[in-house]
Amino acid sequence: LFFLIAIYSINPSLLIANDVFEFNVTNIEIDENGNIFKGYNGGEAFTGDVFIKAKNFEYNKKNNLLVSDGDVKLQDKKKNITIIANKISYSKDKEIITAYGNAKIQDIDRNITISSDQIEFKKNVEIITAYGNAKIQDIDRKITISSDQIEFKKNDEIITANSNVNLVDESNKINIDSDKITYLINNEKIFTLGK
């Protein structure tokens, strides 16, 4: 008992449970002394509240990074979001999910959908950033914003769009083009900057 207490006091990280991925895949390949895990031909990966379904997986144990490709669908039950893309990487240590190619994220609680070439979701701070052909839809309020880059701060309920921004408010029949638009969802206010 004294020996175990001494070890854990020297390295307290041993007490913290390492939340790793579990897999249910058709074919498995393990490389680099068990540090690289590859799953092929369809399957699923799980960790905590996150469930991922894809054709292929590659998990790097050292970086705690999972890359999934081929019709990827990720569901986060705790954050109540769904992400669909051609490829999704999930850095478990940093709690950052990045979706590439025909990326789409749906915030089920707020009934907001974001689509783009690339979407990054920082889970710890609850910020979603979309890059390239970005479009966000507030379905309940019938507002759509298109831009080169869109950031959605979920906790603050703020959407910021930069470069080539177009906002369409179907309910109020308003169409705005601007360099930058900030939309305060709770206050239902829109601010523009630039032309």
pLDDT tens digit string along 120-138? 999 999 999 999 999 999 9
Of 136, 129, 130, 60, whose CA–CA distance to 92 is shortest? Answer: 60
What 8-state DSSP symbol labels residue 48?
T
Q: In this predicted structure, what is the pLDDT of residue 10?
A: 47
pLDDT tier at 94 (50, 70, 90 boundaries)?
Answer: very high
Share of the chain above pLDDT 70, in %: 90
Q: Residue 13 pLDDT > 60, yes or no?
A: no
The whole-number average pLDDT for the span 7-36 is 67
Q: Residue 173 pLDDT > 60, yes or no?
A: yes
Q: Residue 4 pLDDT > 80, yes or no?
A: no
CA distances from 46 to 49, 70, 96, 153, 187 (A): 8, 17, 16, 26, 38
By the 8 A CB rule, do 100 and 90 touch? no
Length of the chain equals 195
